[in-house]
Amino acid sequence: MGHPINLKKVSAAGLLIALGIIYGDIGTSPLYVLNAIVKDKTVTDKLILGALSCVIWTLTLQTTVKYVILTLQADNKGEGGIFSLYALVRRRRKWLVFSAMIGGAALLADGMITPPISVSSAIEGLKTIPYLHAITDQTIMGIVLGIISGLFFLQQFGTASIGKLFGPIMCIWFLMLGVLGIAHISDYFSVFKAFNPYYAVNLLTTYPKGFWLLGAVFLCTTGAEALYSDLGHCGRGNIRVSWIFVKSALITNYLGQGAWLLSHYKNTVITEETITAGFNPFYGLMPHWFVIIGIVIATSAAIIASQALISGSFTLVSEAIRLNLWPKMKIKYPTEARGQLYVPAINSILFLGCCGIVLYFKKATNMEAAYGLAITLCMIATTILFANFLVLHRAKPVFIYLFLTTYLSIELAFLVANLDKFPHGGYVTLLVGGGLFVVMYVWYRARKIKNRYVEFVRIEHYVPQIQELSNDKTISKYATHLVYLTSADSPKEIEHKIVYSILNRKPKRADIYWFIHVDTQDDPYTMEYKVEHIMPNDIIRVEFRLGFRVQPRLNLLFRKVVQDLVAGNEVNITSRYESLEKNNITGDFEFVVLEKYLSQDNELPILERLVMKVHFWLKLITLSEERGFGLDSSNVTVEKFPLIVAPVSVMQLRRIE
């Protein structure tokens, strides 16, 4: 898998990669933030200076201090992201899994709305071109749907080839933001007052319904989580240095937009009709001859922002699968690049979600109402997990409480302000995020319920019987090598159902019995194995220790282990059939996967029964156990076992004569 990159190293290539991967979402915010703030309001000094002050201090406190300075410290062997952070602290408190699930679900929901709002905001710039002024909303929707469809279609081929262009394009984008902003700050020099936080506080406390403007202000920091999620791709040093350039470009552009608004539209009410007709302070900064070029660059940046969210969603789901928080799904590797993966089912879900949002909301101004609510929950979850990380690293209690108080206050304020969006479309992302959380919760809870049923026995008690079966010539041989997957952490134990499968159900005679156990490590890219010879050349246990970002492709991994054992003369895999042994032919390998189904003989509480039913329905529509572990179906036998978690209490049945 390769080694993690040097997190502190800063290089020109690293800075360019960081620009291309990380800043798409937060970098395209200037397309819609000021529009969302001034919608249905009169442009005044108090509104614009207060809003700009809120934006500047949100980017400073939320993005710079919380993410760039503090959270980037919490790397898991070089990797970042909410599940990497959870893997670092999960042994501290069991309930932290809920923070991870809420954060993960919110990030996935965000992946459904970022592409529509970014691409729509960019394409709606066409209305500012005089000869395209009459372009209809349906035409714009068609163009947006076409771009989104093309983007999702290309996912299956990977982004390695075009990914090299992302950095230079985003560099051009941020340079454009900075230049456009600088060109218009002179329109109204008083915008520099916005650096004074007094104007932010004054807006929130004295402006009519000023507090609720935080819902629109929050849009400027929605991509902050990506800075942490892509830590492993870019490194801490590259992110911190590139953020100085990105933040400068963003703030300069916001100031330019504010100056343009105050010089051209002071005391004017910006109605929804005005915005629908093509009004956008972002495009207002551009000279007429540059608008088409600006739209092309903005659309390219929006596509890159969408790509980053989609790739991040694939990584997020693969981590959740390895941490047993998501059903197993087919994962493909379009390129050899580390971390490059493609999850077809998630690609389809995101594609349908994005198209649904475009068709439902129709315009970027409507989408702004749905944006931000879910991602606020993710930020709160990160705050809770990071506070636990600080506790584990023995930070001073006063610093931990200061961090928690500051950021929970800020983020809860954003959450309350964003709740105002709920009836206007915010419910869409909450419903999507809620549905994704339910999937995670069901998968996690069902595993806990099933663990009550799993009965482990000492393997040493059954070794003589297994050896006798192996040597019993009256029973036809099932396979030369019989391989079972076991969930027993201890090498001295095994599930009773495996013993039952070998000895009782239909005796399975084999020459060598293999028991494979996969242990998911908190480190992201660990790839180790350990072999225990329970009975030399008869019963062997192999334990794989795989990081939560390593896919358990057991067919390939097990083959490598067998090759190593043969090379070390630790095992003889030659077939024991005389005619085959004489010609030194390798014996066959047969995997047995034990699949559970919910028995009718269960007395579960209503909630648990519902959880188990949903769990087995999810298993039905997602990847099977054997394919989830990367096994070749041609040499896999699936045995079904009834899952009896709560046996029926004593039955009132009596015999009569």
For residue range 357-366, what is the model confidence (pLDDT) as tens digits? 999 988 888 8
Q: With CA atoms as reference, report the closest residue to 551 among 522, 591, 515, 524.
A: 524
| pLDDT attached to residue 160 | 60
Q: Which residue has the higher pLDDT, 134 or 561?
A: 561
For 580-611, the DSSP string reads HHHTTPBPPEEEEEEEEEE-SSB---HHHHHH
Assign residue 541 a region: left if phi > 0, alpha if psi is -120 to 50, beta otherwise?
A: beta
C-alpha span between 510 and 487 (Å, rounded): 21
Half-sphere exposure of 362 (CA within 13 A, CB side): 5
Q: Which amino acid is at 493?
A: E
The domains found in the chain, sorted by start residue, are 14-446 (1.20.1740.10), 456-643 (no CATH)
Q: Is the pTM above the cut of 0.75?
A: yes
**127-to-123, 284, 333 alpha-carbon distances in Å:** 8, 12, 40
Contact 430, 467 (CB under 8 A): no
**Overall average pLDDT of the 633-637 stretch:** 79
At residue 81, does pLDDT exceed 70?
yes
C-alpha span between 126 and 140 (Å, rounded): 9
For residue 623 the two structure tokens come to 């990847």
- Tens-digit pLDDT profile for residues 563-597: 899 888 888 888 777 777 777 788 888 888 887 77
At residue 489, does pLDDT exceed 60?
yes
Name the CA dihedral angle for 257, 423, 224, 522, rounded to a multiple of 10 degrees: -170
Residue bearing tokens 């739209």 = 295
At residue 294, does pLDDT exceed 70?
yes
At residue 73, does pLDDT exceed 60?
yes
Q: Dihedral of CA 48/54/57/59: which sign?
A: negative
| pLDDT attached to residue 645 | 52
For 343-398, the DSSP string reads -HHHHHHHHHHHHHHHHHH-SHHHHTTTSSHHHHHHHHHHHHHHHHHHHHTT--HH
- Tens-digit pLDDT profile for residues 9-58: 788 888 888 888 888 888 889 988 998 898 888 889 999 999 999 999 99
- Tens-digit pLDDT profile for residues 92-103: 888 999 999 999
| pLDDT attached to residue 513 | 92
At residue 332, does pLDDT exceed 90?
no
Task: Encode 21-59: b = buried (16+ Cβ within 10 Å), e = exposed.
Answer: bbbbbbbbbbbbbbbbbbbebebbbebbbbbbbbbbbbb
C-alpha span between 29 and 41 (Å, rounded): 20
Assign residue 203 a region: left if phi > 0, alpha if psi is -120 to 50, beta otherwise?
A: alpha
Assign residue 307 a region: left if phi > 0, alpha if psi is -120 to 50, beta otherwise?
A: alpha
Q: Dihedral of CA 240/252/123/113: which sign?
A: positive
**Overall average pLDDT of the 479-487 stretch:** 88
| pLDDT attached to residue 3 | 44
For residue 68 the two structure tokens come to 């760039």
Sorting pLDDT into bands at 50, 70 and 90, what band is 535? confident
Query: To the nearest whole number, what is the mean pLDDT of the chain?
Result: 85
C-alpha span between 287 and 498 (Å, rounded): 73
Strands (E), 259-348: 269-270
C-alpha span between 152 and 109 (Å, rounded): 16
Q: With CA atoms as reference, report the closest residue to 68 among 212, 221, 267, 284.
A: 221
| pLDDT attached to residue 265 | 87
Q: Dihedral of CA 56/57/58/61: which sign?
A: positive
Contact 423, 212 (CB under 8 A): no
Sorting pLDDT into bands at 50, 70 and 90, what band is 2? very low
Lowest mean pLDDT among 209-218, 251-260, 621-630: 621-630
At residue 117, does pLDDT exceed 60?
yes
- Tens-digit pLDDT profile for residues 30-44: 988 998 898 888 889
Q: Which residue has the higher pLDDT, 464 or 332?
A: 464
Highest mean pLDDT among 46-55, 235-244, 631-640: 46-55
Which residues, in sequence order, are CB contacts of 215 under 8 Å at separation 6+?
A: 372, 414, 417, 418, 420, 421
Contact 513, 478 (CB under 8 A): no
Which residues, in sequence order, are CB contacts of 183 under 8 Å at separation 6+?
A: 256, 285
SS3 339: coil
Which residues, in sequence order, are CB contacts of 405 under 8 Å at separation 6+?
A: none
Contact 236, 75 (CB under 8 A): yes
**End-to-end distance of the chain based on CA atoms, in angstroms?**
71
C-alpha span between 189 and 249 (Å, rounded): 17
Angle at 232 between CA 226 and CA 236, to 5 degrees: 80
Q: For the chain, what percent of residues have pLDDT higher than 90? A: 30
At residue 177, does pLDDT exceed 90?
yes
Q: Dihedral of CA 563/567/568/570: which sign?
A: positive
* Length reported for the chain: 657
C-alpha span between 100 and 86 (Å, rounded): 6
Sorting pLDDT into bands at 50, 70 and 90, what band is 4? very low
**Overall average pLDDT of the 497-507 stretch:** 85
At residue 266, does pLDDT exceed 70?
yes
| pLDDT attached to residue 381 | 93
- Tens-digit pLDDT profile for residues 439-448: 999 999 988 8
- Tens-digit pLDDT profile for residues 410-427: 999 999 988 888 888 888
**372-to-29, 433, 435 alpha-carbon distances in Å:** 12, 12, 17
**Overall average pLDDT of the 433-460 stretch:** 87
For 28-88, the DSSP string reads TGGGTHHHHHHTTEE--HHHHHHHHHHHHHHIIIIIIIIIIIIGGG--BTTB-SHHHHHHH
Q: With CA atoms as reference, report the closest residue to 317 among 107, 496, 607, 8.
A: 107
Segment holding 164, helix H or strand E: helix 160-185
Sorting pLDDT into bands at 50, 70 and 90, what band is 6? low
SS3 337: coil
For residue 375 the two structure tokens come to 């991602």
